[in-house]
Amino acid sequence: MEHAEYGEFALHVLTNGKFREHTYLVEHRASAAALLIDPGHTACERVQAHLARGVRIERVLLTHGHFDHVGGVQPLCDALDLAADAHAGDRALMRQAQLYSVRWEQTFVPIPKRLAFFEGEPTFTWSGGTVETIAAPGHTAGSVAYRIGPMVFTGDTLFRRKVGPTYYPTADREELLRSVARILERVPADAVLHAGHGRSWSAGDARAWWETIGGAPETFDIYHEQGESPAAAADGTRDAD
C-alpha cells in the first residue's frame, strides 16, 4: 500500500531502507496540512515531492528512537524549520542513531538534533484536528503510538499478528505486552493500525487475535522478514486486504 483514503485524510506510505521501515505522511485534504511520522533516511526526496505539490507539514512525530525511524529527521526538520516530537525516554537512543545505522545497515544517518521531547501522553493539535499520544514502552523506553482520526500508528510495538522485538537496549517484553493491551483497549474496533514495518490491519482484528494467543504472541523479527513470515509468503496464506 502506497496511498489510502480515510475520510478527510489521505495517507501516503513511503517505505525505506534495508529494513523496509514505513514513513507515513498524513494529509488533511481540506487544508493541505500534513503530519510526518517516522521519517527514514531514504524518504527525504519523496517527502520533498509532496511539499512541491503544496502539502504543508505542520508536525513531525516519532514513535521511537531507532535509527531506521529517525534517519530523515535532521535534513527534513532543517528544511521545514520544525522540531520533531519524541518521548524523552528515547533521548539516548536518538544520540546513538548514527552508531546503530553503521552497525546494522552500513550507512550513516544524521544524528537528529531538532527534537522536542515530551513526557506522558500529550495531545497535539494541528489543522486536521488532534493527535492522541498513547504511551507504549517496551520495544524502547520511549515508544509511543499516535491516534489520528481513524488511524493508529503503532511504531514497532505492535505489528500484524506479532509484537515488537525486545532484544534492544531499554526494551522490556512484559512492559511491551502491557503496552499492546493498552493500545487495543484505547482505540475503537474500526480503527486501522499502521505499524513501523509490514502490513496494516484493523483494531478489531487485532483484538480478536490478542484474545486467542493466550499472552504468548510471536515476535516480529526485522532481520528475517518484511511484513509477513517467510512461511506465509511461500504457502500463499496471506490475509486478504
Phi/psi for 58 (5° steps) reads -100, -25
Domain hosting residue 231, numbered range: 3-235
Q: What's the pLDDT score for residue 94? A: 84
What is the C-alpha to C-alpha distance for residues 204 and 154, in angstroms, rounded to an integer? 15
Is the Cα dihedral 181, 199, 62, 96 positive or negative?
positive
Cell of 20: 523496509
pLDDT by residue for the chain (241 residues), tens digit each? 488 999 999 999 999 878 899 999 999 999 999 999 999 888 899 999 999 999 999 999 999 998 888 989 999 999 999 999 999 999 998 887 676 665 666 676 777 889 999 999 999 999 999 999 999 999 999 999 999 999 999 999 999 999 999 988 899 999 999 999 999 999 999 999 999 999 999 999 999 999 999 889 999 987 776 544 333 322 322 232 2
Report if residue 132 sits inside a domain.
Answer: yes
User: How many separate domains does the chain show?
Assistant: 1
Report if residue 240 sits inside a domain.
Answer: no
What is the C-alpha to C-alpha distance for residues 5 and 24, in angstroms, rounded to an integer? 13
Count of residues making up the chain: 241
* Through-space distance between the first and last CA atoms of the chain, rounded to whole angstroms: 10
Contact indicator for 47, 132 with CB cutoff of 8 Å: no
| CATH number for the domain harbouring residue 220 | 3.60.15.10
Which residue is it, cell 499516535? 146
Report if residue 66 sits inside a domain.
Answer: yes
Phi/psi for 33 (5° steps) reads -80, 155
Segments of 138-240 assigned E as strands = 144-148, 151-155, 158-159, 162-163, 192-195, 201-202
Report if residue 213 sits inside a domain.
Answer: yes
Report if residue 149 sits inside a domain.
Answer: yes
Contact indicator for 115, 93 with CB cutoff of 8 Å: no
Pairing of strands 21-28, 33-37: antiparallel
Count of C-beta atoms within a 10 Å radius of residue 204: 16
Report if residue 93 sits inside a domain.
Answer: yes
Q: What's the pLDDT score for residue 105? A: 67
Report if residue 241 sits inside a domain.
Answer: no
